[in-house]
Each structure stands twice: as C-alpha cells, then as structure tokens.
C-alpha cells in the first residue's frame, strides 16, 4: 500500500513511516518542517509543504494516484504554547486540517487516520477510560483535537470521507534502530525530563503534583512505546475498510495505549532500575492544566485492529536513554 503521512518528519510520523516500510508499504511524507527535522525524512518520498496547500496536494495526488490512505499527524503539539498562541493552534490544527480533509475527499482519497489524544478525557474514578467516556479537553491544543474528531465524524457522515481516529495515550521511547526519537532540545514530558536529569543536563527531576488522588499521589499515565504506536497505524491502515465495516459506521474512535496505568513515582522507579542509578528529585505543585491522568481500556483496539502493545516500559526507557546518547549524530545537537 502507499500511505500519505502528514507530519512524517515528526517524532511519531517518522517512526510510523518506518513501520509502514517494514510491513512492505510505501510512505509518502508531507511535512512543512515547522518542527520536525529534515534528517527524519531520510530517503523517503517527500513533499515539503503545508497540509493546507491545495495545489501541492493536487500535485502530490497526481504523482501518486495509488495512495490508499492518509495518516494525518501534522499538527502543533505543545500544550503551554497553545495557551499562549491559540490562534496559531486553531488555524493550523483545525482550519488547515479541514482544508486537507476537504481536498483529500475531492481528490478521491477518502481514507483518513487521525492522530487524536488521550488528553481529551475527563478524570474518571479508577482512571481506566473507554472511547465512550466523558471528555473534558483541558487546553486549546486538546480542544483542537476534539474539534477535528467532531469535524471528521460529521464529514464522514455527509461525504465519501472515512475516518479512523486513534486516541494516543503517552508515547515514549525511540525507534528501536535509533534512527529517530525525541528531537526537541528540552523535552517537557516526563521521560524526557528524567533523561535530562539522569544525564546531568538539569540538576533535578521535578515531580509536579504529589497530592493527587492516585495510589501514591502522583499523576497516572499510560506510557505506550512509540514503536507499538507505529505498528498500530500499520494495522489500522491495512484493515481500514474492515474496521469501519465491523463498527457499521463511516468513522470510529480507538484508544491506543497499553492498558496499564503507571504513576510518576512508578515510572521513576522503572527508570532508575534501567538506568542503574538514582535520579535527583524534587517536588512541586501540579502545573496549571496538568491532569490527574488516565489509562486506556484497550478492548476496542484488540478486537478491531488485532493490536496490543508488545514492548514494555523498560524497553521504552532503554531506547530513550540510548537515543539520548546517539541523537547528536543525527540531529547535530545534544
Ligand atoms: N507526542 C505525543 O505525546 C502525542 C500524544 C497524542 C497525540 N499526538 C499527536 O500525534 C501527532 C504527531 O505528534 P508528534 O509527537 O510526532 O509531533 P511532532 O511535532 O514531532 O510532529 C508533527 C509534525 O507535523 C509537522 N507540521 C506541523 N504543522 C504542519 C503543517 N501545517 N503542514 C505540514 N506539516 C506540519 C511538523 O513539522 C512536525 O514534523 C500530532 O498530531 C499530535 O497531536 C502526539
């Protein structure tokens, strides 16, 4: 199959492109390089440009009339920045995605997989969430994701467009061959911060929120290895029509996580055992907008996609540490 991957120069997109190749498919990358590094595109078919550039999309479709599906990952993704710059987030994640979906439909490329997020879920007792649970997107970023879920559902109901929406939980780790991984200089997410503290690139790791209503007071997440996440896309692309036939609807939403909730303190313990040393810690109150957290009920992913996560949290931590050693070679910075 040939698969258009928007945002294919990014962290998850580049890993997904590789998983597609390993399964015998051909990714076609569309990325503006707004944030993703050129090095992650490697030697793949690449269009540098914007998802809302309709003439570029028409050229791309004319040059690749055999595209079977689009994985739409291109987006702005930094939550605090979305609070500061809501216009840019709504413009790029919402308005431009609408143009992309409309153009894909006109071009006769109706199969869309969309990258959504577990950050949409409202806090729930027990923390395990199914796709039908209540939502309460806490930031402009998360609201752009919810809006696009709704837009896709409405467009799929009214047009030829068909949508499989994947709600990712918390992707961590690197490509197993260390060809891509986290590329931002100062990652804000928990594992990136742990790696920085372990490598002495920052003095301590700060546990933000120690009085939350979880088993040890720290936030709970469902950390899924980015390679497992990439494989979920391969499954979803390969079985796209069957998935929608099975649900009997033109669109559907599927949680992509491991099904296990892990607290920040538990993640630190795993990290220290893989790293082989203690990490200096301090504590602070939760940051504004920090959620208590959730973990995925993964029944739907298992039943519809035949997919479950296979790699462990230790695998992900090990690959993140190895990537931190290696990434200078690929990115040119520590
Ligand atoms: N990383 C996470 O924790 C996480 C969690 C849930 C969902 N997601 C979603 O997964 C997707 C991929 O995330 P990621 O972590 O790989 O992010 P990323 O920033 O590494 O990748 C996004 C890519 O999109 C490109 N891009 C942005 N705007 C564009 C535009 N208008 N036109 C063309 N290209 C554009 C960027 O250059 C970048 O390469 C995003 O949609 C994100 O919202 C990520």
Q: Which of 7, 115, 121 for a ligand 1 pocket mutation test, highest count of atoms within 8 Å of Cβ?
A: 7
**pLDDT score for 207:** 96
CA of residue 221 relative to chain centroid, distance? 14
| Ligand 1 atom index nearest CA of 96 | 31
**pLDDT score for 19:** 98
**pLDDT score for 234:** 98
**pLDDT score for 306:** 97
Question: How do residues 276-331 score in pLDDT, each as one tens digit?
Answer: 999 999 999 988 767 899 999 999 999 999 999 999 999 999 999 999 999 999 99
In this prediction the pTM is: 0.97
**pLDDT score for 137:** 95
Question: How do residues 136-177 score in pLDDT, each as one tens digit?
Answer: 999 999 999 999 999 999 999 999 999 999 999 999 999 999
Task: Report the distance separating Cα 108 and Cα 142, nearest Å.
Answer: 29
| Ligand 1 atom index nearest CA of 171 | 3
Q: Which of 73, 88, 92, 166 for a ligand 1 pocket mutation test, highest count of atoms within 8 Å of Cβ?
A: 73
**pLDDT score for 288:** 72
Q: Which residues of the chain have a pLDDT value below 70?
A: 289
**pLDDT score for 124:** 96
**pLDDT score for 196:** 94
């Amino acid at each position: 199959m040939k698969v258009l991957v928007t945002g294919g120069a990014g962290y998850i997109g580049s890993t997904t492109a590789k998983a597609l190749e390993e399964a015998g498919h051909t990714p076609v990358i569309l990325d503006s390089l707004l944030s993703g590094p050129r090095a992650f595109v490697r030697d793949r078919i690449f269009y540098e440009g914007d998802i809302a550039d309709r003439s570029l999309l028409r050229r791309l479709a004319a040059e690749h009339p055999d595209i079977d599906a689009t994985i739409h990952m291109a987006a702005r993704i930094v939550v605090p920045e979305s609070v500061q710059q809501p216009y840019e987030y709504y413009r790029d994640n919402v308005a431009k995605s609408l143009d992309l979906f409309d153009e894909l439909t006109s071009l006769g490329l109706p199969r869309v997989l969309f990258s959504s997020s577990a950050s949409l879920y409202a806090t729930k007792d027990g923390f395990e969430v199914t796709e039908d649970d209540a939502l309460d997107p806490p930031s402009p970023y998360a609201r752009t994701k919810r809006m696009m879920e709704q837009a896709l559902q409405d467009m799929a109901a009214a047009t030829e467009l068909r949508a499989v929406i994947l709600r990712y939980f918390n992707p961590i780790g690197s490509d197993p061959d260390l060809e891509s991984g986290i590329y931002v200089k100062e990652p804000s997410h928990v594992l990136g911060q742990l790696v920085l503290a372990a490598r002495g690139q920052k003095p301590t790791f700060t546990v933000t929120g120690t009085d939350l209503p979880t088993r040890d007071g720290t936030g709970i997440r469902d950390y899924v290895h980015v390679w497992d996440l990439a494989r979920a896309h391969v499954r979803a692309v390969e079985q796209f029509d069957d998935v929608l036939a099975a649900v009997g609807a033109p669109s559907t939403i599927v949680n992509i996580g491991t099904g296990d909730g892990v607290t920040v303190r538990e993640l630190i313990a795993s990290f220290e055992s893989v790293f082989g040393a203690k990490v200096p810690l301090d504590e602070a109150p939760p940051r504004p907008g920090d959620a208590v957290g959730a973990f995925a009920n993964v029944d739907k992913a298992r039943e519809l996609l035949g997919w479950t996560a296979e790699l462990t949290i230790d695998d992900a931590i090990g690959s993140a540490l190895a990537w931190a050693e290696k990434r200078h070679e690929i990115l040119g910075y520590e």
